[in-house]
Chain A
Amino acid sequence: MIVAERKPFEEIKEMLKGYKKVLSVGCGTCVAVCLTGGEKEVAVLNAELDMARKLEEDPIELGAATIERQCDREYLEVLDEMVKPYEALLSMACGAGIQFLAERYPDKPVLPAVDTTFIGVNQDVGWYEERCRSCSACVLAWTGGICPVTMCAKGLYNGPCGGTDQGKCEISQDQPCAWFEIYGRLAGQDRLDLIKRFYAIVPWKNQKPRTLIQPGYKKPEQAK
């Protein structure tokens, strides 16, 4: 899932300076699961903003709406009427959701209340760890299911580097060396020969916005 972190309160307050009527829009998918931008987090943020602005003798009227997903037109549609009376929208979705919201309501300032952080896993309630950089060139088949791009501090495809230290990375003793782990995993599966494979450098397709159209689907303009 996409993991996000709420922005510092001061930063959010600063963004809302001057606005008197704002709709906070939560997202019920990834950011709700990572306890950052779901219905409850919208309620907490609105309560905080309401109190902070009253303490400054500058009250703000806040609405709240949490939709299933902000990255999907069919769910955004329910907001079309709702957003009209508001001066600005405060989105608690990931960066993709925030931009899709801004695209749908171009005449409204759309402000981010969260920092989108990574694609990660749920280790426990409230504890998330990064596992994927969405590089568009997955090598997990050959690396024992451990991503060298994400888990190696240098993102090395043909590691380890000279900084590997008894299974740890030179950046920190808390950070395992990805290539040490890959070696152990492959050895355990009797697939150690794979470590001898040479991988070309990652093409870094994520340097420009990517589009995916699944087989059997078309962009609307192509479908005509």
Chain B
Amino acid sequence: MRLDYPTNIKIIRVPCTGKVDVMHLLRAIQKGADGVYAVGCLEGNCHYNEGNLRARERVDHVRILLEEIGLEADRVRMYNLSSGEGPTFAAYAKEMTDNIRELGPNPLKKWAKTH
């Protein structure tokens, strides 16, 4: 399957979205990422039963925190798909990129240290 998806996305692999912590998401935004999204298994299909459900709660929490500090909640999202859905993965990558382009760059980018 030679699928195209936006090249601006940096993938960070985790064993399960249940491993994704509030601080991981928050730190990404703090360090200047325009957006960050977690892609988990379909709800009800978690190998660890509730990893993806916990991830969703954490994503929702971060969305609230972002609004508190004056950033758009939509810079952080959660998507679900099965490992066999390559085209859906590409579609979500495009959808998230379009969403972020609409929001514009992260205003914190200028404060982020450049390495």
Contact = CB atoms under 8 A, between A and B. Distances in A.
Interface residues of B, number: 14
A9 B68 contact: yes
A201 B111 CA distance: 61
A51 B23 contact: no
A202 interface: no
Interface stretch (A42-50, A114-122, A158-166): A42-50
B65 A55 contact: no
Interface string B85-109: 0000000000000000000000110
B107 A47 contact: no
A10 B68 CA distance: 8
A55 B68 CA distance: 12
Interface in A32-55: 40, 43-44, 47-48, 50-52, 54-55
Nearest to B106: A51
Contacts of B29: 51
B23 A52 contact: no
Contacts of B71: 51, 55
Interface string B53-79: 000000000000100111100000000
Q: Is the interface of B mostly helix, strand, loop or mixed?
A: helix
A54 B22 CA distance: 20
A47 B107 CA distance: 15
A59 interface: yes
A173 to B, nearest CB: 28
Given A50-B30, A55-B70, A44 B65 contact: yes
Contacts of A40: 23
Indicate the member of A9, A47, A52, A54 with the most B CB atoms within 10 Å. A47
Contacts of B27: 47
Interface of A: 9-10, 40, 43-44, 47-48, 50-52, 54-55, 59
23 contacts: A9-B65, A9-B69, A10-B68, A40-B23, A44-B22, A44-B23, A44-B65, A47-B23, A47-B26, A47-B27, A47-B30, A50-B30, A51-B29, A51-B71, A51-B108, A52-B68, A52-B70, A54-B108, A54-B111, A55-B70, A55-B71, A55-B108, A59-B111
